[in-house]
Amino acid sequence: MTIRYPNGHAYRAPATKEHPHFSSAYTNYGKRGMSLEEALNESNVYYETQGLAVVHKKPTPIRIVKVDYPKRSAAVIKEAYFSTASTTDYNGVYRGHYLDFDAKETRNKTAFPLKNFHQHQIDHLRACTAQGGICFAIIKFVAHDEIYLYPAQELFTFWDAQVAGGRKSIPYDEIQDHGVLITPQIQPLIPYLKAVDQLLN
Amino acid sequence: MTIRYPNGHAYRAPATKEHPHFSSAYTNYGKRGMSLEEALNESNVYYETQGLAVVHKKPTPIRIVKVDYPKRSAAVIKEAYFSTASTTDYNGVYRGHYLDFDAKETRNKTAFPLKNFHQHQIDHLRACTAQGGICFAIIKFVAHDEIYLYPAQELFTFWDAQVAGGRKSIPYDEIQDHGVLITPQIQPLIPYLKAVDQLLN
């Protein structure tokens, strides 16, 4: 069964030691039958085990209402609701740099719709940028099977233009021009730190 | 009702925009009836609104098993379990520095018991330290009503000694000597960035 958020997006349980690949919904990731999120999580595990970076996806925020305590077994949450995250999904540290980003997929061929972001995520990325963090989006164009690292600074420009009444999406060719194409490989699956290196240089 | 983890620790729901102070269990924080976690969360809100730092507590990781979708209302999680976090609770960015820490309280008067930490948290702090992050613990001695920032490097020394068969706690006077005392104030309640500044100097 595919578990879905109220907005229709598929829910994926956070990976645990017992269930490193648990996921209730898969979209195709290249030929590997893996979602963008799962591929990023695997990449982050690789980066951490190699001592290259420490980046984690934050758990999905849940508002818990009712918990049962059966005798001799673990507490069971019986009523809870998804709540809205106040930050982006991923952050961590890479060679002294604070990294902060969100990963988004679109099936649109010609543009990335800005409705994939919420105001509070943009606010968060802006606050982190102001503190000297390296902030970006990882955007997958499913139709092109391409993944880009797109700098937050560029995203802000389009976001502000939208708020001022401008277009509601970022053109694909703009992301080609100002983003950094990430070519999937065996390990890590999504070598996004190479793209971060380009941002830093 | 106090919701508790399997380990007996009180569960506190993550703050949301609707319920910024929702908490099912309070311990005394000074005269303010606030837990250490709540006081830190308020301090982080203050730091962020003042543009001084962006630090958040991560949501509690939950493994979701069953979700209902009532018509015309939000998805309800009907069965879920607490899972173990693979990182520390807090991280963020401060003047270009990656910060990573956990907050712990002890009622012990003479020492901080190392059982308050798990191996995976120590591993995480070590990995972040290796990447150039500023890592520490915020330790509250409830009996003394004192809060210290204690550098991760010092913690590692005692942890490694324990693993090698040494003492299972860090003496209070050691934390007095090598930690930085944080004196609560009006805003932020726990001005821990002052202590971070001391670490940086």
pLDDT digits (tens, 9 = 90+) for A96-125: 999 999 999 999 999 999 999 999 999 999
Residue A33's pLDDT is what?
66
Evaluate whether A122 touches A155 at the Cβ level (below 8 Å): yes
Judged by average pLDDT, the poorest of A11-15, A26-30, B188-192 is A26-30
Take residue B180 and report the two structure tokens written for it. Answer: 């930085």
Residue entry with tokens 């990573």: B100
Interchain contact, B100 vs A93, CB within 8 Å: yes
Instruction: Among B19, B83, B133, select the one facing A16 at the smallest CB separation.
Output: B83
B74 contact residues in A (CB cutoff 8 A): 6, 81-82
Residue A85's pLDDT is what?
84
> What is the Cβ-side half-sphere exposure of residue B126, based on CA atoms within 13 angstroms?
13
Give the C-alpha separation, B63 to A19, whole Å: 10
pLDDT digits (tens, 9 = 90+) for A26-74: 444 444 568 999 999 999 999 999 999 999 999 999 999 999 998 888 8
Take residue A51 and report the two structure tokens written for it. Answer: 């001592």
To the question of whether residue A88 is assigned a binding role by annotation, the answer is no
Instruction: Among A16, A74, A97, select the one facing B6 at the smallest CB separation.
Output: A74
Interchain contact, B80 vs A84, CB within 8 Å: no
Residue A23, pLDDT > 50, answer no
A·B CB contacts under 8 A: 155
Residue B36's pLDDT is what?
96
A93/chain B closest Cα distance in angstroms: 6
To the question of whether residue B68 is assigned a binding role by annotation, the answer is no
Take residue A131 and report the two structure tokens written for it. Answer: 């503190």
Q: What percent of chain B has pLDDT over 90?
A: 79
Q: Give how far Cα A14 sits from Cα of A47, A140, B74, B76, Å.
A: 18, 20, 20, 18
Residue entry with tokens 């520390």: B88
Give the C-alpha separation, A129 to A132, whole Å: 5
To the question of whether residue A145 is assigned a binding role by annotation, the answer is no
Farthest-apart Cα atoms in chain A, separation = 60
Q: Give how far Cα A109 sits from Cα of A143, A146, A165, A170, A180, Å.
A: 6, 11, 23, 11, 18
Mean pLDDT value across residues B173-184 = 98
What are the φ and ψ backbone dihedral angles of B49, each rounded to 5 degrees?
-65, -25
Give the C-alpha separation, A20 to A22, whole Å: 6
Interchain contact, B59 vs A62, CB within 8 Å: yes
Residue B175, pLDDT > 60, answer yes
Query: A64 forms bridges with which residues in the sheet?
Result: A80
Q: What CATH number should be reported for the domain whose range is B36-200?
A: 3.40.1350.10
Name the DSSP class of B10. B
First-residue to last-residue Cα distance in chain B: 45
Contact with chain B for residue A70, Cβ under 8 A = no
Q: What length does chain A have?
A: 201
Contact with chain B for residue A184, Cβ under 8 A = no
B84 contact residues in A (CB cutoff 8 A): 16-17
Task: Identify which of B68, B26, B158 has the alpha carbon closest to the alpha carbon of residue A81.
Answer: B68
pLDDT digits (tens, 9 = 90+) for B79-99: 999 998 889 999 999 999 999
Give the C-alpha separation, B121 to B136, whole Å: 11
ipTM: 0.83
Strand order from edge to edge, sheet including B90-94: B54-57, B90-94, B97-106, B134-141, B146-151, B180-182
Residue A20's pLDDT is what?
40
| Domain edges within chain A | 36-200
Beta-sheet pairing, B134-141 with B180-182: unpaired
Evaluate whether B135 touches B129 at the Cβ level (below 8 Å): yes
